């Protein structure tokens, strides 16, 4: 199943090399659209992860490292499509050569695995900071603050991979920054009962720190792909996800061991407001939701492009806002409204500029192709 990306689709919006669509060039457009719609649905369903994390904390959950593990602990689900990918690759080679050389043709090299392990540590730390912020901030506020990660992506991309700024990306960074200021100008106005002002501010800061770290890991991942110089197949992308998740899980498990979370889980489950069964159901469903989100995002990228994946993720912001108001009865005041409007404006500006760049690149490629 390993394919070499075409010139026009060699990189995503962040410059990341990607696998071309597995259905491209096979006359299977209807199947491709079915897969694309299915993966978009997975991303939207996976958006329940932050909501379930808030449910955990609202009803008596207090273990930060446990809730961090939930965000990356669903990685065994990725083994199912990865195994299918291995089998398809093996069968393809067997059909071509008459024999298969191993049931599991692992594409990842050791240097790439080591790089993924390092990025996984950053991912685990980012999950901890996000869990910390989720324990003190309403879902709607945390969602808007998390949208600032685009500004950090732009900054670190400039420093790490020398990405150039455009008027659209600059406009997006400014708008997202103004949205953060709009929320920060009235700290504590929507904090939950029982949370102090200092806890609210700490959650505010931790959310921004998580967004900054996430903005750092994306260009770092881009640099990792550039340095490996491997062909980016769907199997390799799945292997990268599993390796990063494994490393992040190991990081969170070490934190749980140090914090003695494993012994505290049965006690916390027994004292949970919604009951012991619901306690484990919330954690398990949360882990599945986060992994479904990751799998759907990878599916969109493999079927179409990272541009569409970014647009679908951007749609989660207003969805999260509405669900937070409906499920948790969170207040939606003027500050949140202004911040949401500025964030959406920033998203639209960023992706519109990226779309213009992509179209110009496609036109350039068409001009440079020799006449048949």
Q: Which of 344, 333, 343, 341 is nearest to 186 (CA)?
A: 333
**Would you state the pLDDT for residue 177?**
67
Residue 144 predicted with pLDDT over 60: yes
**Domain membership flag for residue 31:** no
**Domain membership flag for residue 27:** no
Instruction: Determine the Cα–Cα distance for residues 308 and 270; give it in Å rounded to an integer.
Output: 43
Out of 27-36, 133-142, 170-179, pick the least confident: 27-36
**Domain membership flag for residue 41:** no
3-state secondary structure of 63: coil
Q: How many domains does the chain have?
A: 1
The count of C-alpha atoms lying within 13 angstroms of the C-alpha of 164, restricted to the half-sphere facing its C-beta, is 5
**């199997």: which residue's tokens?**
235
Instruction: Determine the Cα–Cα distance for residues 212 and 151; give it in Å rounded to an integer.
Output: 8
**Domain membership flag for residue 203:** yes
Phi and psi at residue 73, to the nearest 5°: -80, -5
- Do residues 370 and 206 touch, judged by C-beta distance below 8 A? no
Read off the pLDDT of residues 270-285 as tens digits, 9 standing for 90 and up.
Answer: 999 999 999 999 999 9
**Domain membership flag for residue 362:** no
**């954690």: which residue's tokens?**
283
- Do residues 75 and 253 touch, judged by C-beta distance below 8 A? no
Read off the pLDDT of residues 28-66 as tens digits, 9 standing for 90 and up.
Answer: 456 667 777 887 888 888 888 888 888 898 888 889 999
Instruction: Determine the Cα–Cα distance for residues 243 and 237; give it in Å rounded to an integer.
Output: 10
222-236 burial, b at 16+ Cβ within 10 Å, e below that, comes to bbbbeebeeebbbbb
**Domain membership flag for residue 338:** yes
How many percent of the chain have pLDDT more than 70? 65
Residue 20 predicted with pLDDT over 50: no
**Would you state the pLDDT for residue 255?**
94
Residue 265 predicted with pLDDT over 60: yes
Out of 52-61, 307-316, 343-352, pick the least confident: 307-316
Read off the pLDDT of residues 191-219 as tens digits, 9 standing for 90 and up.
Answer: 555 566 777 788 888 888 888 888 788 77
Residue 321 or residue 342, greater confidence: 342
Measured between its terminal Cα atoms, the distance across the chain in Å is 29
Instruction: Determine the Cα–Cα distance for residues 237 and 11; give it in Å rounded to an integer.
Output: 13
**Would you state the pLDDT for residue 296?**
76
Q: Provide the 8-state DSSP code for 163.
A: P
Full residue range of the structural domain in which residue 258 is found: 63-90+107-186+196-355
Residue 87 or residue 334, greater confidence: 87
**Domain membership flag for residue 224:** yes
Q: CB under 8 Å to 87, separation ≥6 — which residues?
A: 103
**Could you tell me the pTM of the whole model?**
0.73
Alpha helices in 29-137 (DSSP H): 29-46, 48-58, 64-72, 79-97, 110-134
**Domain membership flag for residue 46:** no
Instruction: Determine the Cα–Cα distance for residues 14 and 241; give it in Å rounded to an integer.
Output: 17
Centroid of chain to Cα 211? 11
């Amino acid at each position: 199943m390993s394919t070499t990306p075409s010139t026009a689709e060699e990189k995503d919006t962040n410059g990341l090399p990607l696998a071309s669509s597995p259905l491209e060039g096979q006359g299977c457009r209807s199947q491709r659209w079915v897969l694309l719609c299915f993966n978009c649905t997975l991303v939207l369903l996976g958006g329940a992860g932050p909501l379930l994390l808030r449910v955990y904390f609202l009803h008596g959950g207090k273990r930060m490292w446990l809730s961090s593990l939930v965000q990356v602990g669903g990685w065994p689900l990725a083994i199912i499509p990865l195994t299918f990918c291995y089998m398809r690759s093996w069968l393809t080679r067997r059909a071509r050569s008459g024999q298969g050389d191993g049931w599991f043709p692992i594409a990842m090299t050791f240097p790439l695995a080591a790089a993924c392990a390092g990025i996984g540590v950053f991912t685990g730390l980012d999950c901890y900071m996000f869990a910390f912020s989720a324990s003190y901030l309403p879902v709607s506020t945390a969602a808007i603050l998390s949208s600032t990660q685009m500004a950090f992506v732009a900054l670190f991309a400039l420093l790490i991979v020398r990405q150039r700024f455009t008027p659209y990306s600059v406009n997006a960074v400014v708008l997202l920054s103004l949205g953060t200021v709009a929320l920060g100008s009235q700290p504590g106005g929507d904090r939950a009962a029982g949370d102090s002002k200092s806890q609210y501010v700490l959650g505010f800061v931790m959310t921004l720190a998580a967004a900054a770290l996430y903005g750092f890991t994306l260009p770092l991942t881009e640099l990792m792909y550039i340095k490996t110089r491997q062909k980016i197949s769907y199997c390799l992308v799945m292997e990268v996800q599993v390796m990063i998740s494994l490393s992040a899980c190991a990081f969170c498990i070490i934190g749980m061991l140090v914090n003695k979370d494993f012994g505290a889980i049965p006690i916390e489950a027994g004292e949970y407001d919604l009951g012991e069964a619901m306690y484990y159901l919330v954690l398990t469903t949360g882990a599945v939701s986060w992994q479904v989100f990751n799998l759907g995002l990878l599916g969109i990228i493999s079927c179409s492009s990272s541009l569409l994946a970014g647009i679908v993720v951007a749609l989660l912001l207003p969805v999260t806002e509405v669900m937070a108001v409906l499920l948790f009865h969170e207040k939606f005041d003027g500050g949140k409204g202004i911040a949401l409007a500025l964030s959406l404006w920033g998203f639209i500006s960023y992706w519109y500029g990226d779309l213009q760049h992509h179209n110009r690149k496609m036109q350039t490629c068409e001009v440079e192709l020799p006449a048949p």
